[in-house]
Amino acid sequence: MTGVCGDLRAAVRLTNMRLSVVILAALLGMSACKAERNSAALIPSWAALVPSQNAAVVGQPCGPPLHAAEGIWSPSQEDIRRLERQLNLVLEESLARSLLPDSLRPAVNDYYRQYAGVIVNGRRLIYVTGFHRQYLASVQQLHGDTTAWRTQPVLVCDGGEFYFGAAYDPSDDHFIAFQFNGYA
């Protein structure tokens, strides 16, 4: 029986070794997928500068507590490019701190964004509203039109990490406020 048991033990060791290799490969693969997901950048075509008549509403009333706009201005393409570079970092860091499980946590490139140039206390700021791509999928199912977000502010007061509001100061290239929405 020693020969059969020895062969059986060897087969179990080989199976365990193969299983360990499979588990290690799966873990490395998941790590790589998570790193790839987290390093994904914002999609430029998923951003819109809201027309001036609607600018003061972007980022309000459900975003971070910000003062009412006293005026509007038009950010340049360079302002938006710099904002998006910083927003990529802020979103990555904020999502990393999220309590959502990885399987439910949005990625940086899951968000559409609306931008509006506003003047608050004499400072030129850019208000930002971000919303998850599923929002447009829902809008399409309900209304069929997925282009209104480019001109009409998206106002959602809950939704957690799937929606956010922020304020960016282009004069010193940083966000003065960033906040995911709460939950209803």
Q: Which residue has the tokens 């997901």?
A: 37
Residue 164: how many other CB atoms lie within 10 Å: 28
pLDDT of residue 145: 83
3-state secondary structure of 49: strand
* Cβ–Cβ under 8 Å, residues 21 and 83: no
pLDDT of residue 52: 85
Closest residue by Cα to residue 105 from 132, 130, 129, 85: 132
Burial class (CB in 10 A: 0-12, 13-18, 19+), 98: middle
pLDDT of residue 53: 82
Per-residue pLDDT of the chain in tens (184 residues, 90 and over written 9): 555 555 545 544 544 444 333 333 333 343 344 444 445 899 999 999 999 888 867 766 566 666 778 889 999 999 999 999 999 999 999 999 999 999 999 999 999 999 999 999 999 999 999 999 999 999 888 888 889 999 998 988 889 999 999 999 999 999 999 999 988 7
Residue 131: how many other CB atoms lie within 10 Å: 23
Sorted by where each begins, the domain ranges of the chain are 1-39, 44-180
pLDDT of residue 16: 42
Q: How far apart are CA 124 and CA 75, in angstroms?
A: 9
Bond preceding residue 61 cis, omega within 30 of 0: yes
pLDDT of residue 5: 52
* Cβ–Cβ under 8 Å, residues 178 and 171: no
Residue 172: how many other CB atoms lie within 10 Å: 7
pTM: 0.75
Q: How far apart are CA 150 and CA 146, in angstroms?
A: 9
Half-sphere exposure of 8 (CA within 13 A, CB side): 5
Bond preceding residue 64 cis, omega within 30 of 0: no
Q: How far apart are CA 126 and CA 141, in angstroms?
A: 31
pLDDT of residue 11: 45
